[in-house]
Amino acid sequence: MKMTFRWYGDNDPVTLGQIRQIPGVTGIVSAIYNIPVGKVWPVEAIRELKEKVSRSGLALEVIESVPVHEDIKLRRGKYQEYIENYKENIRRLAAEGIRCICYNFMPVFDWTRSRLDQPLPDGSNALVYYKEDVDRMDPAKMSLPGWDASYFPEEIEELIREYQLQGIEGLWENLKYFIQEIIPVAIECNVNMGLHPDDPPWPIFGIPRIITDEAAIDRFLSLYDDPHHGLSLCSGSLGCAACNDIPHLVRKYGKMGRIHFAHMRNVKILEDSSFEESAHPSFCGSLDMVEIMKAYYETGFEGYMRPDHGRMIWGETGKPGYGLYDRALGAVYLMGIWETLEKEWKKR
């Protein structure tokens, strides 16, 4: 297992120097954030990012993410041009030593929350999803970090209508087409492609979402029979639906060698599909983080892992979900579990 940490470039309040001081963290997960979705990333920009990370004493082997253009998801307009650009990005990243690319196929919106700074009883602030609040939101006027902000409200409304007309099976067909186009390039370049599940794993605003549970993951992996075609398995995204048994999923897909990137975070499941993001330890939320880590260890996981969203603690401000302190605590907590598992295994 290789412990990594997400970094949003020079504009990130968290510095590479600070990340370098977190025990056990050896790698950075990042991307080129100033290139419009669907365009080819300049080789110079990729190389500059890699060299900057390397100078800090860390490694850049994972890109999160190379976004998928909406035209690809809808198979409309310039979708074939955007797919060719996507293939070229895979080639260029591979040439600079990138071994894993994280991406998702969520229509219109990336991860969705109702509030980014909900005060918790301990005085920290966290990302939360309260169903009543989400039901009252106007999706055309929403904006969250990580979303593509290049669309006007009327364009978002049109996108939503198109996805509603396309439906679940239409989205599956378009995902299948995309996968069959890009995975041969990933195989050629020896890059592992890790699809991130939908977050949260159910339809929002009447828009279909399809990477939601075990049956959906089975269907997704069946689209291309090759180990380069795999998952960025996020415990928090799938775990906020009580029907998803995360240790079971890790064991099942880990034994298949199809988990390339592990996002580790805990969530506290509330009533009516609501949830709050919590600190990483098991007792802070609804997920058994020790059992999840045990599943990774027992299946011989050698891929990349990172502590996912953290709370804002100790008065820190910054990018919601991506402050330094709570994620650093999470990384050390996870490394401690891993060390314990290693020592227990040796005793046997």
The tens digit of pLDDT for each residue in 16-72 reads 999 999 999 999 999 999 999 999 999 999 999 999 999 999 999 999 999 999 999
Which residue did the predictor score with more confidence, 24 or 135?
24
3-state SS, one letter per residue, for 63-75:
EECCCCCHHHHHC
Tokens of 220: 């997704």
Task: Mark 33-44 as b/e (b = at least 16 C-beta within 10 Å).
Answer: eeeeebeebeee
pLDDT of residue 147: 52
The per-residue pLDDT for range 100-118, each reduced to its tens digit, is 999 999 998 888 899 999 9
Helix (H) / strand (E) element for 222: namely none
Q: Which residue has the tokens 């067909």?
A: 173
pLDDT of residue 345: 85
What residue spans of the chain are helical by DSSP H? 16-20, 43-55, 70-74, 79-95, 131-136, 153-189, 214-221, 235-239, 246-255, 289-298, 325-347
Q: For residue 175, with 0-12 CB atoms within 10 Å meaning exposed, 13-18 middle and 19 or more buried, which class applies?
A: buried
Tokens of 326: 């709570």
Nearest alpha carbon to residue 83 among 39, 41, 46, 31: 39
Break the chain into its structural domains and give their ranges. 2-347
pLDDT of residue 300: 96
Spatial contact of 33 and 8, defined as CB atoms under 8 Å apart: yes
What is the set of active-site residues?
A: 196, 234, 263, 308-309, 322
* Pairing of the two strands 100-103 and 259-264: unpaired
Residue 157 pLDDT class (50, 70, 90 cuts): confident
**At CA 100, angle to CA 204 and CA 329, rounded to 5?**
70
Those residues with Cβ within 8 angstroms of residue 345's Cβ, 6 or more apart along the chain or in another chain = 297
Task: Tell me the fold of 2-347.
Answer: TIM Barrel (3.20.20)
Q: Over 60: is that where the pLDDT of 145 sits? A: no
Share of the chain above pLDDT 70, in %: 96
CA torsion 205-207-212-218 (nearest 10°) is: 170
Residue 288 pLDDT class (50, 70, 90 cuts): very high
Residue 4 pLDDT class (50, 70, 90 cuts): very high
The per-residue pLDDT for range 222-271, each reduced to its tens digit, is 999 999 999 999 999 999 999 999 999 999 999 999 999 999 999 999 98
Nearest alpha carbon to residue 240 among 280, 201, 205, 288: 201
Q: What single-letter DSSP state applies at residue 42?
A: P
Give the type of residue at 246. Answer: I
